Amino acid sequence: MTGRQAAPPIPRVVPRSGSVGQASVAGEFAEKIAGGLAYAADRYEPGMLYAKVVRSVLPSAEIIAIDSSEAERLPGTVAILTASDVPHNVVSEEASGLGMTVIQTPVLASKRVRYAGEPIAIAVAESPHLAEVAAESVFVDYEPLDGVYDADAALLPGSPDVHERGNVLADWNLASGDVDAAMAAADHVVVGEYFTQAVDHAYLEPEAGVGWIDADGIVTLQVATQVIEHATEIAALLGLPENRVRVIATYMGGGFGGKEDMTVEPFLALAVWNTGRKVQMVWSRQESLLARPKRHPFTMRYRTGVTADGKLVAQDIDIVGDAGAYPYLSPRVLFAGAVTAAGPYRCENTRIRARAVFTNNVPNSAFRGFGAMQVTFGYESQLDRIAATIGADAGQVRLINFLDEHDSLPTGEPVPTRPAVAATMEAATQALSEVERKEPSATLRYGRGFGCSMQPYGRTVFFQDRASSWVGFQADGTVIVRAGVTDLGGGQAASLGQIAAEVLGVDPENVVVHIGDTHLNPLTGGTFATRQLYMSGNAVLKTAMELRETLADVAADLLGVAPSHLEFGGSAVSAGDSRLTTAEWVRACEQANLPVAHMSTFFAESGDFDPRTGKGQTFPDYTYGTHAAEVSVDLETGVVEVLAYIGCHDVGLAINPLRVEGQIQGGVAQGLGYALSEEIITDNGTNQSVLFADYLMPTSREVPDIIPLILEEVPGKGPFGARGIGEPAIAPVAATIASAIENAIGARPTELPITPERILALLEERHRPGT
């Protein structure tokens, strides 16, 4: 094993010209507000075809026969495609990244279906209605098979196997110190079990895209996706060279990880390839709720040994995550859960086991927080339980256990940068203490609580992540940035413009950013894992710095100073009182035969992890935070209302504070749904939550004004010392709400979502004699 290899250094720049660190509403936002921005489903063309997926109605069955003859005879049907029409009918992903697991997922099932909603065929027709009717007219003859619908049950001997190789998809084991000895020597051993549920991303834009074959014969897909690099997988399933498939990402109507795996892409590609015509595919909301991967339900079992004064001396943690029927990103999600399962707390003797288990439920995959979010509910509930057990203050127990910069993680690797989690706890709880307290009434109880978290940003270092960008001047001094990032609405593109503007000293409105096109932009990797600011932000910073350095000599000569004395700002290069406009500088560089555009690649730090020993390097860094909230609980109805909410994170440096606030506020609202109301309910593999009317995401009435607190305590590894904020914002919410509810009613919810029924059950349990 080699050690962690640091990323090659980028010259550090202190933001000075005022582009970075300022609230900005630049970019596409004005067009979004005016209703003019075209999303993936907004592209209509005469003669376009429409495609619809035929999905399994059973969760576990053998396919005896597929009869598409009636569908093919219908007027308006152009094609019915089944497995035999797919050149290479498999999406094969080595999902762990460490050579552990290869399970092949068919694009279209032909012999066996493993979940209700699994794709079997594609109907292509002249209108959306005709495609729907054709899809409904494909008859599938099934022989039902036994299935397994619960991850714990799937681990039992004799349980039906979802795949031939057995039901354990991934089994991660991390260990440090001597857990058994330390546990035996502990003053107290605190045991807790915590349960989380499956939830849907519920972005408001359902999965959509159009595809066509362009004049050069390139298969082109314009889709709502977080990852344009899926172009290579599409090429593989069509049997084409990788440069014959182009993916263009539209601005997404939300993603949250749900557009990280492919959605419409393989079906669109097959429809286009088989018909030669332009095809649109838009999933209905109900199809999206039925068949898109959800967030993994986790069962988390914690045993923690503590000293009498609350110091953690041993942790034994077991996590079981329901992967559903196919791997998708489950091994990685459970890996992130394992690495962060002990939270931002020091414990020298720690054993963590995290398993991803196949069931015949809809597959689960990436969702904002990616495993590290579920475990926050586990470790924070456990910390509160420890405080209650030893009769200590919950904040004090945390303070004596918080990780500091000299500590190691359970993988044996040092903490990457100093965790300022204590500072976030102080800021969040202080802000809540300034909210006026309410007097309890006959039926309402009020409570306050908080929760802390650590959330990785960036991909695990063994993926050797990289991102490229291109930055070029026009002759008039304006700037073009090209980078293959995708934009979910977090301002991903706009922040790259701010970074280029900062380095080159031009106004942000003079920078145009082109994103999301595999054939026209340098590739950056997808927008997921809170990696985009870290990766493409560093790429644009590096590219712009190298371009500036190449061209600085020309300005230095003209201004008669050394290059190190140049200032870049206000669309000019200056040295003292003498200045060149950016346009003058660029023209001088062109006359000197210097390139005024440049492409470069940022390589993230790399490292190795050994799954046999559980030791090695994992994530580049973490974003820490604390949330605090006040709730009311109605003792008669069990209804919880959130009255005040503060979300605080150390973001290192906020490139665009307005967008950082937006990420925190939005993450909290999504987290409140997770905490209190949202759940995909299944009954023996049949999804009962396929209507938006049945899926209770928070409306404006359920969300209080969310107060974001941005700390800039410890520089992170992103551009200008920024840390990612996309995922961290959702992690502490459920634990925070559970803590506030416990404070209100004296009983701790351990199962999500915390519905009124569960509150009433907790109240009843509390009043039962002998408990």
Partner 1 sequence: MPSPARMGPAVDRSKVEFVLDEEPVEAWVEPNQTLLEVLRTVLGHTDVKYGCGEGVCGTCTVLFDGDPVSSCLVFAVQAGGHVVTTPRGAGPPDEIAALRAAFLAAGAAQCGFCTPAMLLTVHHLLMENRAAGREDIRSGISGNLCRCTGYTKILDAVEYYQAGRRTGSGSA
Residue closer to partner 1, measured from CB, 286 or 441: 286
Residue closer to partner 1, measured from CB, 32 or 163: 32
Least spacing, CB of residue 533 vs partner 1, in Å: 15
Q: Which residues bind partner 1 (CB under 8 A)?
A: 23, 25, 28-30, 32-39, 41-42, 44, 46-48, 50, 75-76, 125-130, 201-206, 251-256, 282, 284-286, 488-491, 658-659, 661-662, 665-670, 691-693, 697, 699-701, 703, 705-706
Of 545, 503, 39, nearest to 254 (Cα)? Answer: 39
Per the DSSP assignment, residues forming a β-bridge with 599 are: 470
Per DSSP bridges, beta strands 511-515 and 479-483 are parallel
* Helix, coil or strand: residue 167: coil
Least spacing, CB of residue 29 vs partner 1, in Å: 6
Least spacing, CB of residue 677 vs partner 1, in Å: 13
Residue closer to partner 1, measured from CB, 77 or 518: 77
Amino acid symbol at 96: S
Q: What is d(CA 266, CA 259) in angstroms, rounded to the nearest whole number?
A: 13
Residue closer to partner 1, measured from CB, 280 or 382: 280
Query: What is the end-to-end Cα distance of the chain in Å, rounded?
Result: 52
Least spacing, CB of residue 373 vs partner 1, in Å: 16
Residue closer to partner 1, measured from CB, 254 or 569: 254
- List CB contacts of 166: < 8 A, sequence separation 6 or more: none
Least spacing, CB of residue 31 vs partner 1, in Å: 8
Phi first, then psi: what are they for 104, rounded to 5°? -95, 130
Residue closer to partner 1, measured from CB, 125 or 415: 125
Q: What is d(CA 546, CA 594) in angstroms, rounded to the nearest whole number?
A: 13
Least spacing, CB of residue 637 vs partner 1, in Å: 19
Least spacing, CB of residue 25 vs partner 1, in Å: 5
Q: Spell out the SS3 assignment of 260-323.
A: CCCCCHHHHHHHHHHHCCCEEEECCHHHHHHHCCECCCEEEEEEEEECCCCCEEEEEEEEEEEE
Residue closer to partner 1, measured from CB, 621 or 678: 678
Per DSSP, the chain holds a count of helices (H) and strands (E) of 19, 32
Residue closer to partner 1, measured from CB, 14 or 204: 204
Whether 265 and 299 have beta carbons less than 8 Å apart is answered as no
Least spacing, CB of residue 195 vs partner 1, in Å: 24
Residue closer to partner 1, measured from CB, 2 or 699: 699
Distances (CA, A) of 62 to 110, 123, 222, 292, 335: 9, 21, 34, 22, 32
Residue closer to partner 1, measured from CB, 209 or 607: 209
Least spacing, CB of residue 383 vs partner 1, in Å: 26
Half-sphere exposure of 418 toward its Cβ, with a 13 Å CA cutoff? Answer: 10
Q: What is d(CA 572, CA 580) in angstroms, rounded to the nearest whole number?
A: 5
Q: What is d(CA 290, CA 689) in angstroms, rounded to the nearest whole number?
A: 8
Least spacing, CB of residue 740 vs partner 1, in Å: 17
Q: What is d(CA 396, CA 399) in angstroms, rounded to the nearest whole number?
A: 5
Least spacing, CB of residue 367 vs partner 1, in Å: 12
Burial 373-393 (b: 16+ CB within 10 A, else e): bbbbbbbbbbbbbbbebbebe
Q: What is d(CA 12, CA 720) in angstroms, rounded to the nearest whole number?
A: 7
Q: Spell out the SS3 assignment of 229-265.
A: HHHHHHHHHHCCCHHHEEEEECCCCCCCCCCCCCCCH
Residue closer to partner 1, measured from CB, 25 or 308: 25
Residue closer to partner 1, measured from CB, 1 or 25: 25
User: DSSP secondary-structure letter at 116?
Assistant: T
Phi first, then psi: what are they for 680, rounded to 5°? -90, 110
Residue closer to partner 1, measured from CB, 568 or 695: 695
Residue closer to partner 1, measured from CB, 370 or 695: 695
Least spacing, CB of residue 288 vs partner 1, in Å: 9
Of 637, 666, 635, 661, nearest to 648 (Cα)? Answer: 661
Residue closer to partner 1, measured from CB, 200 or 233: 200
- ω before 753 within 30° of 0 (cis)? yes
Distances (CA, A) of 424 to 408, 434, 596, 597: 21, 16, 43, 42
Residue closer to partner 1, measured from CB, 593 or 700: 700
Least spacing, CB of residue 255 vs partner 1, in Å: 8
Q: What is the DSSP string of 577-603?
A: TEEEEHHHHHHHHHHTT--SEEEEEEE
Least spacing, CB of residue 583 vs partner 1, in Å: 29
Residue closer to partner 1, measured from CB, 322 or 630: 630
Residue with tokens 């080595």: 94
Amino acid symbol at 708: P
Least spacing, CB of residue 38 vs partner 1, in Å: 6
Cα dihedral 648, 652, 657, 662 sign: negative
Least spacing, CB of residue 645 vs partner 1, in Å: 9
Whether 150 and 159 have beta carbons less than 8 Å apart is answered as no
Least spacing, CB of residue 259 vs partner 1, in Å: 11
Per DSSP bridges, beta strands 219-223 and 245-249 are parallel
Amino acid symbol at 304: T
Residue closer to partner 1, measured from CB, 42 or 405: 42
CA angle 479, 481, 484 (to 5 degrees): 170
Residue with tokens 């263009």: 248
Least spacing, CB of residue 434 vs partner 1, in Å: 18
